[in-house]
Each structure stands twice: as structure tokens, then as C-alpha cells.
Amino acid sequence: MNREFLYELLETGSVSGNETELEKKIYDYMKDKADLVTVDELGCVTAVLNPAAPFKVLAAGHADEIGLMVSAVGSDGTLMATKIGGIYPTTYPGHKVRIYTKNGILYGAVANSRDIAKNADLKVSDLRIDIGAKDKEDALRYVELGDTVTFDTGVRELLNGYVTGRALDDRIGAFIVMEALAEAKKKGAAVGCYAAATTGEETTGNGAYFTASRVKPDIAVAVDVTYTSDNCGISEALTGDVAVGKGPVLCNNPSIHKKVNSLLRDCARRLGMAVQTEAASGQTGTDGDTMHLTGAGVPFALVSIPLRYMHNPDEVGSLKDIQECIDLLAEFFASLTADTDLKPF
């Protein structure tokens, strides 16, 4: 995998609805690696192998991240914000943030105090971003209402191939589908293979809807991060025993297609790769749910990358898991044939 490009993506701001800079980078990266690269009106980039092939498989990773949006400016020049996606307001006070303005990145510090630090019920409307402005007029010279905001946290490598950074969710998924498509080309994939970096997963699901409606795939695979049960993770009883560093995760739930799942398991077996299993009781909360219900309906599966501390300023994942997700998906792309029958009986 191209680790430098991965880190470049992770350093780029892509708050839901404001993914253009990231999508452009993916478009340029894939130009010489796919048979065709397209961009739609939302900015979703789709890289394609064998665009004329009638049997189509679509793998999607979402390019957007959670964050804040500037909603108002106080008379003191501090910024107020509303949430974009599932943020935790208590993770913001005391942190540096980046504000993505039309003239580039502006930095701010989120106000903190003893009272704020003790407030477990802190709401997003309680946050105040200090950009050093003298007053409202001064702030509005640099910031527009609607500008998006992320934590100002960079990528750092940890021990044993672990990596930490902001919003690995799900820029690592967008990276994985693209790298897998490039690998599938080398493996001689024969069916129509589509890798999409979707917009809007954290808020509206619009990118997955636009993309799947246009591609009309026979199979869809969502590639997204998932919660783990290790290191302050969630209950094993709820979602299964899932840990960072132990490989890609396949999901069992009522809507995930069992035959697609077993094809993915066959691929892992051929590669000698361990996969983990998670459970979801209803929808998956990913682009898979959206792609599933487009057109005449699309059988789908979910390949998840285990991730600690999801939606926090510093998430933790593993480069080994990322590489294995690439390998698994490349093998899946390359193993499909036009007569793949998905009927259960």
C-alpha cells in the first residue's frame, strides 16, 4: 500500500458536505491505476475496471468525516458551532481545531475551564472556538457561516504497526477500496469492478445513493470501520469479539447477503488470512444499508476495519488490518465471474 498517500488523505479535511479536496486527491491518484475514473455532481469519485462488463461489483468507502460547522459568531469574536455527524461535544474543549475557510485553513482553540471540564452533559451549543479575533466583525473578515471544523490532530505511528489520527473513519475505507481496485487490475479481474469514495455517509448517505443508483451493481460491498471489544471497547455480547490487529471483520445481520459473505470468507481462506466476525441486530449504519435499497435492490456485504476510539480526536487502527482489507477486496474483485449466482436456493 502507498502509506504516504494514506497519510496525506488522513491529513486532509473532509467534513461531510465538504469533501471536495479529498475527492480531488483520490481522483488524481487513481487516474493511471484504473480503466476509467469518474466524478459525480456531489464529488463522489468512482474508479472502474472493465467499464463495459455487464456484471458489476461496487465497493464503497466513505470519504467524509464528522466535525463541526460554524453556525454563529459571538460579539466577542468566538465561533459557535453545530455538529456534523455523531460528535462527542466533551472531546472538544481544550483542543486545537482547524477551520476550513475559502481562503485556507484557520486555527482555533476550543475554550475550556474547570466548569466546562466538569460538565458531562456539555452540548455542542456550549462550545466556543477562540480564533484570536478581536470581535465579531474581525472574526467575520476570515470566517463564513457554514465553514467546517475538525480537530487539529495529525497522523502518528504507534508501536507494532498501529497508527493514530483523526477520522480514520472512514478515510481508510476510501483508501482501501482504491488500493484494492489497483491490485485487482494486476490480478486480471474480469467483471466490472467499481471502487467509490462516497460523500455524506456521516450525515445523509447521499453519496452511496447517487453512486449505487448510477452504477446499478449486482453486488455491493461497504468498507467501513467498526467498533472493537478491546481497549475500552463495547460489549462482546453486543457485537462480537473484535480487536484491532486481528484482521478484516465480516458482519452477520439480517440484511447482509450470506452468499456474498461466504464468497468473501472463501477469498480469505485462499489468502490464508484470519477474519473476525461481528454481529449487528438491524441495519449496519454504513453505506451498505443505502446501496442495498437502490434500484431493484442490491445484495451487499460489509468489510469492516477494526477501530478503537471511533469519533474521537485520536482513533487507533492497524496498518496490518488495512493491508489485509486491501488484499481481501482485491481477491474478491478478481474472483468474481459473470455467472456468479446469488440466489440462496
* Strand ranges (E), the chain: 36-39, 45-49, 56-62, 67-73, 79-84, 96-101, 104-110, 129-130, 148-151, 156-157, 162-165, 192-198, 219-227, 249-252, 276-279, 300-307, 315-318
Closest contact distance (angstroms) between CB of 221 and Zn ion is 14
Closer residue to Zn ion (CB): 147 or 224: 224
Alpha helix locations (H) across 132-205? Answer: 136-139, 168-186
At 286, give phi and psi (nearest 5°).
-130, 180
Least gap, CB of 85 to Zn ion (angstroms): 9
Cβ proximity to Zn ion: between 224 and 278 the closer is: 224
Residue 118 CA to residue 212 CA, distance in Å, equals 45
What CA–CA distance (Å, rounded) separates 197 from 180?
13
Q: Which of 19, 23, 183, 201 is catalytic?
A: 201
Inter-residue contact 220 to 77 (CB < 8 Å): no
Q: Which is nearer to Zn ion, 185 or 308 (CB)?
A: 308
Interface residues with Zn ion (CB under 5 A)? 169-170, 224
Nearest distance from C-beta of residue 229 to Zn ion, angstroms: 18
Active site residue 201: yes
Distance CA 307, CA 225 (A): 6
Residue 166 CB neighbour total at 10 angstroms = 23
Nearest to 232 by CA among 163, 309, 159: 309
| Cβ–Cβ under 8 Å, residues 25 and 12 | yes
> In DSSP terms, which residues pair with 301 in a beta bridge?
221
Provide CB contacts within 8 A for 137, sequence distance 6+. none
Of 151, 159, 195, the closest CA to residue 177 belongs to: 195
In the complex, the smallest distance separating the C-beta of residue 84 from Zn ion, rounded to whole angstroms, is 13
C-alpha cell at 344: 440462496
3-state helix, strand, coil in the chain (%, to 5): 30, 25, 40
As a whole number of angstroms, the distance between CA 194 and CA 3 comes to 22
Q: Closest CB to Zn ion among 85 and 192?
A: 85
Smallest gap, in angstroms, from Cβ of residue 64 to Zn ion?
Answer: 8
**Cell of residue 232, nine digits:** 475500552
Distance between CA atoms of residues 201 and 33, nearest Å: 25
- Block residue for cell numbers 436456493: 345
Shortest distance (Å) from residue 205 CB to Zn ion = 11
Cis peptide before 241 (omega within 30 of 0): no
Smallest separation (angstroms) from Zn ion to the CB of 66: 9
- Return the residue nearest Zn ion (CB atom): 170
State the catalytic residues: 201
